[in-house]
Structure 1
Amino acid sequence: MSLAGIETERPDPTLAAALAAVEAAGAAIRPWFRRRLVAETKDDLSPVTRADRDAEAAMRRVLGEAFPMDGILGEENGLEREEARRCWVIDPIDGTRAFITGRPSFGVLLALLEDGVPSLGIIDQPVTGERWIGRRGCRTLFTGRLGGEAATRACGSLAEAELSATAPAMFDATGRTRFQRLESACRRVYWGGDCYAYGLLALGCIDLVAEQDLKIWDWAALVPVIEGAGGVITDWQGSALRQGCAGDVLAAGDPALHGAAVAKLASAGGAP
């Protein structure tokens, strides 16, 4: 039996449900791509569309039917079954601004937390057909028509590094100063990408991603994908990402590059 390029005689029911959920999300999203959707503004000033809501509802239906005792946390509709040891974390469209402006640099994010730790993560781009599947302790799997292999690349120094972040507006005043120290040490910075940038890091196209103010649905799926491709993903202090963290996220393709990036991102009273 084949599950999105994974050959196995005994499919993992958790993975099968996750893949069915992202397929359902993609089916809800694709009809609205480049359809000039009206976007509403949420209380946090981020945009939301019918495609976001329909995709999350579709994922909740699939996961709820497959694992009715699991928790589900989604960006648009909050938390169900807070007491559950396992919790699915959904971002139906990570990069809604890209989606509503017709850019295919958004993605569907789905993670499974077990006792608060991400054990499964999927980045799915439903328009380009690209998909990254990460499972704790396993090599990341990638499928896609545009080519690429899930393996980060070696990068010897910050001076050789390609750095990425979604937008300058995501940084607070102190964070912007800290990011600029890292930016000035790198070869180039690329703005834009949302979760797609982390997928490109997992393919060895980008060396570093540093961002602020990410919510758990923004980063949970990224952890198994980046780690399974050979990279490192932490907060800006180098600590593991966990529920309740501040949302300062640093991903490095080459683990040797990670410490140098952490030092550049150190707070004003820390390392230069």
Structure 2
Amino acid sequence: MDRAFFATLSDVARAAIAAELERGLVADNKLEHGFDPVTEADRAAERALRGAIEAAFPDHGIWGEEYGWTREGAATVWSLDPVDGTRALVCGLPSWAVLVGLLEGDRHIGGMIDLPALNETLVGIDGETRRNGERVRSSGCTALADARLSTTDPHLFAGPEWDAFERVRSASRVTRFGLDAMAYARVATGDIDLVVENSLKRHDYDALIAVVRGAGGHVGDWQGGSDFAPGRIVAAASRSLYDQAVEVLNG
């Protein structure tokens, strides 16, 4: 796999989304209670991504947020979140992203965080992350007291999870909210040091792991391991910072 194909995926998704933005977005709500929007831009982008992958790699599996599985059980799988941060998109904010992860078995071997509103594409592959072609590195921050922390929405934490996050927030230097996948991009570029989140699905995190790791950061679960299925993710600028955050999360 080379970076050129990720550039192709960025191009086709951006074109599909731009066409829907030109028509005007209408957000449907996935939830009976609360608000989880989906738009035709989400669906059109995933169709475009699937079409490009199917043409180039007809034996690969595809998992996407909007259309589910194609060839489930394939050795190589693409994981698609065609618009991560749809709330940001419908509010005219630039933090929404196109996320594409590439896995062999359980190994995250490639990932793309594409930020069309910022004309910025980060691709992590072969252990190296580049933004618009230039290599990027995490800050290397090793101390929680110095860390710039982010989470998308603190209201997603409740009960013991809220208490755990609050311990980390209180121990960190500064906290910013509402960045969606852009927060992980900023860990890779050295501008944010730590992201702590819960309730993520595989299409939310599969792309992020290779991008952060390729920039020298560390990604794991809340227990110090790599069981991402429960959706509790910690992305850190260094393994030392990750270990400190996990220790504080667990009291």
Normalised to the residue count of structure 2, the TM-score between the two structures is 0.93
CA contact (8 A) 1:36 1:100 kept: no
Q: Secondary structure at the match of 1:214?
A: coil
Deviation at 1:175, TM superposition (A): 1.1
Residue in structure 1 matching 2:185, options 191, 199, 207: 199
Question: Matches of 1:116 and 1:81 in 2, distance apart?
Answer: 16
What RMSD in Å do the two structures reach over aligned CA positions? 1.8
Residue in structure 2 matching 1:30, options 2, 12, 18: 18
Closer, same or farther: CA 210–246 of 1 in aligned 2, 3 Å:
same
Q: Secondary structure at the match of 2:224?
A: coil
Deviation at 1:177, TM superposition (A): 1.0
Question: Matches of 1:111 and 1:250 in 2, distance apart?
Answer: 17
Counterpart position of 1:98: 88
CA contact (8 A) 1:18 1:63 kept: no
Q: Secondary structure at the match of 1:76?
A: coil
Deviation at 1:254, TM superposition (A): 2.3
Residue in structure 1 matching 2:226, options 215, 236, 240: 240
Counterpart position of 2:241: 257
Which runs of no fewer than 5 residues in structure 1 stay unpaired?
1-11, 267-271
Question: Matches of 2:215 and 2:151 in 1, distance apart?
Answer: 19
Question: Matches of 2:95 and 2:114 in 1, distance apart?
Answer: 11
CA contact (8 A) 1:22 1:110 kept: no
Question: Matches of 1:139 and 1:82 in 2, distance apart?
Answer: 28
Counterpart position of 2:166: 180
Counterpart position of 2:7: 19
Which runs of no fewer than 5 residues in structure 2 stay unpaired?
none
Q: Secondary structure at the match of 1:246?
A: coil
Work out the percentage of aligned pairs sharing the same amino acid. 41
Moved over 2 A (4+): 14-19, 30-36
Deviation at 1:86, TM superposition (A): 0.7
Closer, same or farther: CA 141–241 of 1 in aligned 2, 3 Å:
farther
- The one-letter code matched in structure 1 to 2:152 is T
Question: Matches of 1:90 and 1:81 in 2, distance apart?
Answer: 14
Residue in structure 2 matching 1:143, options 132, 147, 160: 132
Number of equivalences: 249
Residue in structure 1 matching 2:114, options 124, 134, 158: 124
Question: Matches of 1:84 and 1:206 in 2, distance apart?
Answer: 35
Deviation at 1:173, TM superposition (A): 2.2
Question: Matches of 1:83 and 1:159 in 2, distance apart?
Answer: 43
Deviation at 1:33, TM superposition (A): 4.3
- The one-letter code matched in structure 2 to 1:174 is P
Residue in structure 2 matching 1:52, options 33, 42, 52: 42
